[in-house]
Structure 1
Amino acid sequence: MGVILIDNDVVVNEISKELEGIGTNNEAEYFALIERLQHAINLGWKDVCIQGDSRLVIDQVAGSWSINADNLKKLNAEAKELIKRFTSVKLEWIERERNSKSLS
């Protein structure tokens, strides 16, 4: 899982770790989102723009897609609880090709 936190075009934090026991790529995408949100909260950020290349996760958290998989419902709820702690959150799907910033 890789997460990069950027503030005004400056990389503030880069997180890269292996997720053991994760069953699906969608679960891994949710864990990355939750990790991003937790770190943004720890930094005291109130307004965030979350960009991700998983349309499923972005659209499910935004509420425009339903959640059929039971294993994602709990992760979705956890992400939404974290989102409530921000003043504003913009969720933006980006194409995988545009999501190319590499972690060191």
Structure 2
Amino acid sequence: MIHCDGSAVPNPGRMGLGAVLTAPDGTRHSLSTQAEGRGCNNEAELRALMAALQEARRHGASTLVIHCDNSVVVGQLAGTALEPFVRLAALFEEVRSELRSFASARLVWIPRHRNREADALARAAVGLMPKNPVPAGKHRP
């Protein structure tokens, strides 16, 4: 199982990549790195996913369930998005190709609050503190 997230600071800006990989036996591996160059949050999300897929392959994974909180990325990769994301088309295709190289790879959208650990790793990669959770019933201005 993979939980992945990307951060761009500012947006666009430096990109932080974060992921948590959990093997069937419960063994966990974390990934927190800054990507080369500058990009937007969607590019950071894609690069985080690619880094997580490569790390999963290094650990011998063949079947994956991937959790991502970016609906644009999930929609584009699932082919359900209404409009193509032209600027990142080559990167989307590279990720699709990597996904197809696994025996099974299922990408699942999850809400942001269920992806806090991957988010904290992505933010740490660019020197940011984790986001504080919003208390139930409270909204940020």
Query: What is the TM-score when the length of structure 2 is the normalising length?
Result: 0.66
Q: Deviations over 1:9-29 (max 9, x none)?
A: 724311101224222000000
Percent of pairs with identical residues: 35
Of 33, 37, 43, the residue aligned with 1:21 is 37
Q: TM-score, normalised by structure 1?
A: 0.87
Cα distance in 1 between the residues matched to 2:115 and 2:27 = 15
The runs of at least 4 consecutive aligned structure 1 residues that moved more than 3 Å come to: 66-69
Higher Rg: 2
Q: Which amino acid aligns with 1:48?
A: L
- In structure 2, the CA distance between the partners of 1:11 and 1:96, relative to structure 1 (3 Å rule), is farther
RMSD: 1.9
Measured against aligned partners, the alpha-carbon deviations of 1:32-58 in whole angstroms (never above 9, x if no partner) come to 011111111121211100101111111
Paired residues, what number? 104
Counterpart of 1:89 in structure 2 is 105
Q: How many angstroms apart in 1 are the aligned matches of 2:105 and 2:52?
A: 12
Q: Which runs of 5+ in 1 are unaligned?
A: none
Task: Determine which structure has the larger strand proportion and give its number.
Answer: 2
Q: Give CA-to-partner distance per residue, 1:47-85, whole Å, 9 cap, x none.
A: 100101111111111111155333210111000110111
